[in-house]
Amino acid sequence: MIQMKITRVDRENDNTPILSNREIDEFAYAVLEDYDPDLLSEPGTIDYEHFIESYLGMEIIYKDIYYKENTPPIYGVTVFRDSTVKVFDRENGGVAHPIIRANTIIMDNVVIKNGGMAIFTGFHECGHYFLHQGVYSIFRAGQVCCRKKSTEKSPNSFSQSGWTAEEWREHQANRFAEAIIMPNATFIPFVMKVLREYEVYKRSILLGENEDWDIVARDLLPERISEVYGVSKQAASVKLKKCGFVVR
């Protein structure tokens, strides 16, 4: 397993790494090259459970993760140090506080009911493990809890100028997940191929310019990407916009 070399951190904010999107993308590429180079030559779905257990050597478990009423549910937890994690006790009622060993990823049971949600949450947690050891293994409570809102950020969800350190870390984990699941090395050629199949002979679709092309951009392309990469149509649409294939 290769490690991310963190050279710059924000010491005033729990050693949060200072990383560009390009640095994260390049690291994800290197990880895929080390784990399974075929994923960089042929588009396909990566098995997050196999990656977590065989490549990272971590344990993955599924629980009903506790969250307070009227707050977004918690989809995943990465445990860096032995610690307790609050979960719903469905069998006996109430809540429980099991001790979870270090190097464990917990995913909420609701997540596995949706394949696209599961794969993105799984690799989002992997992103924290790769990028944020220096934060959560030293500071905080030895773990990071990721809520629904943090794993579903779109490019325009908030202004980067106002991001907190925590929001930067969540962005970094999301970027890593996206780069691992839909690497540009296969994603861009695949989308170009599909565009030609739908007789769109241009690099990007400007929404509102052509009704038929809008259907391709909003429905057909995300559906094809979802089928091949195992992601949600929402995640596919976000990636299309980031790569400039769909422009508003």
Q: Answer for the pair 243, 188: CB distance below 8 angstroms, yes or no.
A: yes
> In Å, how far from its chain's centre is CA 44?
16
**For residues 36 and 166, what is the distance between their CA atoms, to the nearest angstrom?**
31
Task: Provide the residue-wise pLDDT of the chain in tens; the chain has 248 residues.
Answer: 999 999 999 999 889 999 999 999 999 999 999 999 999 999 999 999 999 999 999 999 999 999 999 999 999 999 999 999 999 998 888 999 999 999 999 999 999 888 899 999 999 999 999 999 999 988 777 999 998 765 545 444 444 557 899 999 999 999 999 999 999 999 999 999 999 999 998 889 999 989 999 999 999 999 999 999 999 999 999 999 999 999 98
Q: Which amino acid is at 156?
A: N
From the CA atom positions of the chain, what is the Rg in Å?
19
**For residues 98 and 95, what is the distance between their CA atoms, to the nearest angstrom?**
10
Find the DSSP H helices in 45-100.
48-50
Instruction: Write down the domain spans for the chain.
Output: 9-181, 184-247
**What tokens does 240 get?**
């299309």
The pTM of the whole model exceeds 0.95: no
